[in-house]
Amino acid sequence: METKIQFLGTSDSQGVPRMLCSCAVCKSTDNKRSRPSVFIHTSRKILVDASPDFRQQFIDGDLCIPDILCITHAHNDHIAGLGDLADLCFWHESKLTIISPPDVIDILKQRYPYLTPKRNIFFTPLHQMDVDGVHISFHRVNHGNNGYSYGIRFSNQTSSWAYVSDVINMTTEQMVPFYHLSLLILGASYLDESNYPFQYKRSIYDVREALLLREKLQPEKLILTHMSHNIDITKNILPEGVWFGKDGMCIML
């Protein structure tokens, strides 16, 4: 079965334009980005992360209610849309299964204590799962100064792809699930932070490092997401096989 991956949001935690910023990227019309999330249309409808912009993304993307929500980690830019999504499920009597490892599910339950099966929300703590021929697995990756997050790997009979939005300094061991994918969606917040004096405070790769990682992991396609206002996606600076993500863009696998 063909899989369609729809990019709902491709910005960093602050969005583009940033509030109160008048830089060239924030002023440009081609760099409007909402907070990071993708929707996977396959045998089931899978939403990856519920961004603070979920409501607008749902309307703009002409989406249907997902069957499954996979959460990468419990940071605000990845979960703050959960209340809106839960309301949508409740009012449309649609059941939502939320999948993430137990540590993430625990935080979600604390933050959204009113979300229960009575409201059609089913928290499902696990590291991997098979849904209608799609294997989904969560893999812990370094998130620098922000601790850790999970990269999510998906595979079916024809292809394998992964969403790793918040990662830096991956160890060789952490790379293992992400070799030779059909598509890797990787977070890169800035173009080049090599001169940033507080390297220990960083939490996400820059574009320069993302391209180096690509040489190791060798995905067929690499799409960058989680991009701040430091990145102008209209600039043609990427090698063949690598793209800047864009809100609304769709990829067929």
**What's the rounded Cα separation, in Å, for the pair 33 and 161?**
22
Stretch of 70-78, 85-93, 150-158, 238-246 contacting Zn ion, by CB under 5 A: 70-78
Q: What string marks each residue from 164 to 203 as x (binds Zn ion by CB under 5 A) or -? A: --x-------------------------------------
Q: Which stretch binds Zn ion (CB under 5 A): 89-97, 112-120, 158-166, 230-238?
A: 158-166
Binding to Zn ion, residues 71-90 (CB under 5 A)? 75, 77
Cα 144 from chain centroid? 17
Closest separation in Å from C-beta 127 to Zn ion: 19
Nearest CB to Zn ion, comparing residues 53 and 120: 53
Of the pair 90, 148, the CB lying nearest Zn ion is at 148
Beta carbons of 245 and 7 less than 8 angstroms apart: yes
- Binding-site size for Zn ion (CB under 5 A) equals 3
List the structure tokens of 87: 């309301």
Q: Does residue 53 belong to the site contacting Zn ion (CB under 5 A)?
A: no
As measured in angstroms, the least distance from the Cβ of 34 to Zn ion is: 12
Minimum distance, C-beta of residue 165 to Zn ion, in the bound complex (Å): 6
Report how far apart, in Å, the C-alpha atoms of 174 and of each of 14, 79, 119, 152 are.
27, 23, 36, 12
Binding site residues, Zn ion, CB under 5 A: 75, 77, 166
